[in-house]
């Protein structure tokens, strides 16, 4: 009987890897992190020490030469595609931080290569693994929502602009809050809706505060000269089944809450809001409302997403977040930017 552990390599050893991905992998006793690659040798060494990994690289291609089963990609958005494609070409399964890519062409390229090689590819959309999301999904799948005809998605912060270049430099990030936090709430909402096909999108994308306003930032100063993404975006989406969706996303705005990450679905039988899983409907002619509570606690959604990826690989299950769903999420965000640039409604390439 083989005692070999499932071997993982990390591409990108920065904040998200150290804070949640490494602990998530270490929570699985059958898994061993064997190496870390990062452009910063110091960052790679720090992440490797946390992971208990022996191999450290500044070029991820060297990491891919190791005897590993899968890679976890935690680099800036624009660096996702080359890292994922290289790993897939080496015959490795891949979990990649959101957004999987900043264009639908890149998502398709990754997805089609994974399918061709019969490898698992998963976007790390950890919000699907929160307690409220699991409860809401079960309630909807039981038929309580009915037909969804409209949805609202908000990913709005008062003054939480991430100052790192990987977020504010378009060459690295491919977008601002729309790609950073909008992708979370949008993916969650589309998942609850059953992923209808978007057919028309109207959007706006603006920089309201980040270039020169005196708005303070709860995460400290940032390079205003290097700042080249939006700090606010909004969109209106039509789907092929007649449903509609409103999306709003910002890193800076005048609102009371420091952050509001929310999805609300309106159906013919009921309505529901995430993340608190508050529902409303009518029972025997009487208005009803309340909170859903999933019976199983979710200790950490990032850990759960990593465990789900590991399970799909070793037990030959479908990807928990398949690229065919991710391409619709990115298609909408891509179309919001395209519509803002063109000044008209556009058809997303999904």
Can you spell out the DSSP letters for 192-231?
A: HHT-PPEEEEEEEEE-SSTTT-----TT----TTT--S-S
Q: Within 13 Å, how many C-alpha atoms sit on residue 168's CB side? A: 20
pLDDT at 115 over 60: yes
Q: Which two tokens stand for residue 304?
A: 């759960």
Over the stretch 208-225, which tens digit does the pLDDT of each residue have? 999 987 899 999 999 999
**pLDDT at residue 85 greater than cutoff 90:** yes
Per-residue confidence (pLDDT) for residue 95, from 0 to 100: 98
For residue 215, CA distances in Å to 120, 168, 176, 208, 218 come to 43, 16, 17, 10, 10
pLDDT 10s digits, 124-165? 999 999 999 999 999 999 999 999 999 999 999 999 999 999
pLDDT higher than threshold 80 for residue 2: no
Mean pLDDT of the region 270-299: 91
- Report pLDDT for 198: 98
Mean pLDDT of 73-99: 97
What average pLDDT does the chain have?
Answer: 96
Q: What are phi and psi of 280, to 5 degrees?
A: -145, 140
DSSP string, 36-84: EE-SSHHHHHHHHHHHT--EEESSHHHHTTSS-SEEEE-S-GGGHHHHH
Closest CA to 106 of 181, 164, 174: 174
Q: What share of the chain is helix, strand, coil (3-state, %, to 5)?
A: 35, 25, 35
Produce one character per residue of 27-66: b if its CB has 16 or more CB atoms within 10 Å, e if not: ebeebbbbbbbbbeeebbebbbebbebebbbeebeebbeb
Backbone angles phi, psi at 304, to 5 degrees: -65, -35
**Which of the residue ranges 63-72, 209-218, 236-245, 263-272 would you say has the lowest mean pLDDT?**
209-218
Q: What is the mean pLDDT of residues 36-65?
A: 98
Average pLDDT for 192-216: 95
Residues 36, 53 contacting (CB under 8 angstroms): yes
Helix (H, G, I), strand (E, B) or coil at 129: helix
Strands (E), the chain: 6-11, 31-37, 55-57, 70-73, 93-97, 121-124, 148-157, 198-206, 232-239, 244-250, 259-267, 270-274, 278-283, 286-291
pLDDT value of residue 124: 97
Q: How confident is the model at residue 299 (pLDDT cuts 50, 70, 90)?
A: confident
Is the pLDDT reported for residue 1 higher than 60? no
Q: How confident is the model at residue 3 (pLDDT cuts 50, 70, 90)?
A: confident
DSSP 254: S
Domains of the chain as residue ranges with CATH: 6-126+302-320 (3.40.50.720), 128-298+329-342 (3.30.360.10)
* Per-residue model confidence (pLDDT) at position 159: 96
- Residue 7: how many other CB atoms lie within 10 Å: 16
Higher pLDDT: 4 or 88? It is: 88
Among 248, 195, 193, 198, CA closest to 348:
198
């Amino acid at each position: 009987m083989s005692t070999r552990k499932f071997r993982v390599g990390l591409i990108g050893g920065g904040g998200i890897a150290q804070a949640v991905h490494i602990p998530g992998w270490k929570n699985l006793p059958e898994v061993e992190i064997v190496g870390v690659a990062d452009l910063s040798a110091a960052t790679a060494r720090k992440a490797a020490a946390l992971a208990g990994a022996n191999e450290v690289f500044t070029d991820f291609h060297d990491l891919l030469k190791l005897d590993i089963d899968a890679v976890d990609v935690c680099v800036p958005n624009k660096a996702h595609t080359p890292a994922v494609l290289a790993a897939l070409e080496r015959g490795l399964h891949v979990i990649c931080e959101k957004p999987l890519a900043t264009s639908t062409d890149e998502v398709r390229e990754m997805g089609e290569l994974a399918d061709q090689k019969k490898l698992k590819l998963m976007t790390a959309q950890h919000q699907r693994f929160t307690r409220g999301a699991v409860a809401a999904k079960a309630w909807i799948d039981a038929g309580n929502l009915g037909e969804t005809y409209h949805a609202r998605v908000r990913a709005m912060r008062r003054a939480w602009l991430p100052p790192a270049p990987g977020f504010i430099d378009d060459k690295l990030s491919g977008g601002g809050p729309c790609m950073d936090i909008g992708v979370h709430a949008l993916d969650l909402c589309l998942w609850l809706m059953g992923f209808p096909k978007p057919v028309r999108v109207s959007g706006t994308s603006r920089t309201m505060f980040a270039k020169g306003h005196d708005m303070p930032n709860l995460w400290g100063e940032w390079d205003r000269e290097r700042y080249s993404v939006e700090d606010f975006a909004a969109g209106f989406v039509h789907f092929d089944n007649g449903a509609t969706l409103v999306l709003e996303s910002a890193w800076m705005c005048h609102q009371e809450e420091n952050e509001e990450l929310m999805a609300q679905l309106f159906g013919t039988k009921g309505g529901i809001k995430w993340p608190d899983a508050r529902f409303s409907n009518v029972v025997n002619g009487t208005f009803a409302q309340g909170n859903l509570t999933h019976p199983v606690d979710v200790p950490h959604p990032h850990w759960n997403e990593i465990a789900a990826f590991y399970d799909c690989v070793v037990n030959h299950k479908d990807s928990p977040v398949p690229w065919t769903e991710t391409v619709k999420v990115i298609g909408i965000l891509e179309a919001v930017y395209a519509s803002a640039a063109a000044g008209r409604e556009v058809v997303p390439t999904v």
